[in-house]
Amino acid sequence: MELSSTLLLAGLERTLNALLARDPAAPSRLARLAGQRILLRLEQPALALAIHFHPAGLDLLRTDDTAEEGFDAVVEVDAETLGELLGGASVERLMFQGKLAVRGRTHLLEATRDLLLDLDLDWEAELARWLGDIPAHSLAEGLRSLSRWGLRTRQEFCADVSEYVFEEARLLPGRHQLETLRDQMTEMEIATDRLEARLARLRRRLSEPGMPP
Amino acid sequence: MSASDKHTTHFGYQEVPVEEKASRVAHVFDSVAARYDLMNDLMSMGIHRLWKRLAIERSGVRPGHSVLDIAGGTGDLTGKFSRMVGPRGRVVLADINESMLRVGRDKLLDSGIGGNVEYVQANAECLPFPDNSFDCITIAFGLRNVTDKDAALRSMARVLKPGGRLLVLEFSTPGNPLFSKAYDEYSFRLLPKIGELVAGDADSYRYLAESIRMHPDQETLKAMMEAAGLERVEYTNLTGGIVALHRGIKL
């Protein structure tokens, strides 16, 4: 148990450092963060994680050190909020909602998120190191045109399907038809309401004593 | 202990005169230094990195701390500690063996680690440092090669600052008898073979396996650390007790 979580952390640390090493923008960001330490306390599952930044990447260590004075920032968060944070939610919003507690230098958290989320890997250079410049470039061009083709095909497919469903087969009403229908239904609803009110008034007047039949 | 026992100690399964053990151990490590890292990876199937990582996690080292890595060998722990203590801290890599220290120094310098690392050739039994000078002392896979382990632990407790931690990462005794049997087979049959193939030296690796069996078990080492003046001593068994990580605090 001790070793499997250590293994997971070691794997995560290696992966992150390998990715950071491939990002041309990472060294300057890391240089600003180097020497800083963040304590990340996860509530569920209970886990205290120390993140140490150094010029070549970061160290992830589990810590049983409860003293907070050794850290530049302490972040307390649950797994759900951590997901939101990594998904790009604003730090201030989460703090105001009370889901995220940050003590110390709060900007470290934003800097860390930028470092990890704005990874822009120069993967073509990495391919070139393995395959040589020309094959890597042709492969990269091939992959790029494949991805362009994929995107275009997806857009065209969606357009074709909607055209068929709305215009040709008329399986579903279009947005304008739907809106007209809804307006007419609303008018009818109002008219029936008025009719009902009028009938009620008539009935009341008929049943009132002293009124001529 | 009888009077005659005082003059001999164990070197693997052999009894050798006390004054000879250090030079024999030195010979073993001179012979394996060049391929030490590769052999460690092969013999432990890479798990030694996780054992060391766990030791680092338990060390509680922070920026500005002084750390002593005894028997630091090829500098696995020192490299990481050097980053953790930062430019205000210091890490001393101490080893009794010149060849191992040289391999370690070259490796660390090659990977760009320097500035806050010092190298000291020292015997763990009589550490050449003033009292109360380190926040953390680690000895990973080194204690079993020390001739007088009690003296070494006393010496470490002396140079540790009050509140400082001593971490001993060392081979130990597996709890499960079946696992222990498999482990014996592995270390007495397979290990010297790997040593012969890769490092060209079966005897040294036979010594490593034997010295592991002669090393005190978890509870004995815990008692030894307490006798040396450390408190709150606790240990964690790793990989079924093949290795144990002991931690004591000087109060």
Report CB contact under 8 Å: A59, B83. yes
Res. B215: pLDDT tops 80: yes
Query: Which H or E element spans position A25?
Result: none
In a domain, B1, yes or no: no
> Which residues of chain A make contact with B54, given a CB cutoff of 8 A?
2-3, 6
Q: How many CA atoms are closer than 13 Å to the CA of B126, on its beta-carbon side?
A: 0
Q: Pick the residue with more confidence: B204 or B118? A: B118
Does some domain include residue B200?
no
Q: How confident is the model at residue B209 (pLDDT cuts 50, 70, 90)?
A: confident
What is the pLDDT at residue A1? 56
Mean pLDDT score, A36-41: 87
Candidate from A12-21, A164-173, B33-42, B214-223 with smallest mean pLDDT: B33-42
CATH number of the domain at A2-117, out of 3.40.50.2000, 3.65.10.10, 3.30.1050.10, 3.40.630.10? 3.30.1050.10
Q: Do B83 and A6 touch (CB under 8 A)?
A: no
B5 has a pLDDT exceeding 60: no
pLDDT at A29: 84
Strand residues in chain B grouped as ranges (E): 8-11, 14-17, 66-70, 90-95, 117-121, 134-140, 160-171, 231-238, 243-249
Task: Answer for the pair B222, B154: CB distance below 8 angstroms, yes or no.
Answer: no
Q: What tens digit of pLDDT does each residue of B156-196 get? A: 999 999 999 999 998 888 888 888 888 888 888 887 787 77
Mutate to test the interface with B, among A2, A9, A63, A64 (most CBs of B within 10 A): A2
Structure tokens at B183: 């482990």
CATH of the domain at B102: 3.40.50.150
The whole-chain average pLDDT of chain A stands at: 85
Is residue B220 domain-resident? yes
Q: How much is the CA Rg of chain B, to the nearest whole Å? A: 17
Overall domain count for chain B: 1
Answer yes or no: is B132 a known binding residue. no
Q: B4 or A19, which is more confident?
A: A19
Contact A66, A39 (CB under 8 A): no
The verdict on residue B184 lying in a domain is no
> Which pLDDT score, from 0 to 100, does residue A176 have?
87
Establish if B132 belongs to a structural domain: yes
Report which listed range, A191-205, B40-54, B201-215, is most confident: A191-205
Contact at CB, B83 and A7, closer than 8 angstroms:
no
CB B244 within 8 A of CB B218: yes
Domain with B29 in it = 6-174+207-249
Contact check, Cβ <8 Å, A59/B60: no
pLDDT of residue B67: 93
% of chain B at pLDDT higher than 70: 97
- Please report the number of interchain residue pairs, chain A to chain B, with beta-carbon separation below 8 angstroms: 41
Q: Do B80 and A59 touch (CB under 8 A)?
A: yes
Closest residue of chain A to B111, computed from CA coordinates? A56
Facing residue for A2 by CB, picked from B60, B86, B236: B236
Question: What local confidence, expressed as pLDDT, does residue B4 receive?
Answer: 45
Q: Which of B44, B48, B53 to mutate to test the interface with A (most CBs of A within 10 A)?
A: B53
Name the residue with higher pLDDT: B39 or B140. B140
Residue A110 scores a pLDDT above 70: yes
What per-residue confidence (pLDDT) applies to B1?
Answer: 40
For residue B143, give the amino acid letter: L
Residue B196 located in a structural domain: no
pLDDT in tens, B98-146: 888 888 899 899 988 888 899 999 888 889 999 999 999 999 888 888 8
Do the domain assignments include residue B27?
yes
